[in-house]
Chain A
Amino acid sequence: MFLGRVVGRLWATRQAAGLAGRKLLLVRPETASGREASRLVVAVDGLAAGPGDRVVVAHGSRVRDLTVGADVADKDIVIGIVDGHELQGR
């Protein structure tokens, strides 16, 4: 899993059946100290996250099967909305 921040939502009219009705979020992965990665990931929202939220994203087909269902065509899933985190040391 990794920490990231939801920076937006994504809609597509023409899309695979496996994405129909799914809420897609644009998540920018972060370093633990909050610095942002340069690339974005499109994740399926398994909870009710929205732009601005810091989230935990898990990856993989098994995680997908267990959370949003095996029929979804995305392997990056939001599994937690972060209230806070504490970092110590390096």
Chain B
Amino acid sequence: MILARVIGHVWAARRDARLQRAKLLVVRPHAIYEPAFATRHLVATDDVDAGVGDDVIICLGAPARASLGDNNMPVDAAVLGVVDRVELDADAMRAAGAAPGIKRPLEIAVGT
């Protein structure tokens, strides 16, 4: 799972039939996510009524489909929850920034 902030909505009239009733959000991962392409965003389905500006937990892959209650949804990312609060140890930033495979430091600024 990854922590991300909702930054927008997507409208698409022409889409896979199973997605007709899905709400699609554009989210920006906060940290520790190295996508295949440098898009700096993800499109995720939303079942928990998140809105722009919310920090959310995103699940990728098969569990994302399971969370929608339908394993036949052709999606690879879903919002699992809206984050109320994040606590980070003061040293977590440095420790995470130094870990192998993490190319940029954490930039977590959870909304007030």
Q: Which residues of A pack against B, CB within 8 Å? A: 1-4, 29-32, 37-39, 41, 46-48, 56, 58-60, 62-63, 66-67, 77, 79-90
Q: Is the CB of A2 within 8 A of B11?
A: no
Tally B residues with Cβ within 8 Å of A. Answer: 37
Given contacts A67-B74, A77-B74, A90-B7, contact A56 B40 (CB under 8 A): no
Stretch binding the partner chain, chosen from B14-22, B80-88, B89-97, B98-106: B14-22
* A-B contact number at CB 8 A: 118
Nearest-CB residue, chain B, relative to A40: B37
Q: How distant is the Cα of A38 from the Cα of B39 in the complex, in angstroms?
A: 10
Given contacts A2-B41, A86-B8, A88-B8, contact A81 B14 (CB under 8 A): yes
Q: Is the CB of A86 within 8 A of B76?
A: no
Q: Is the CB of B14 within 8 A of A1?
A: no
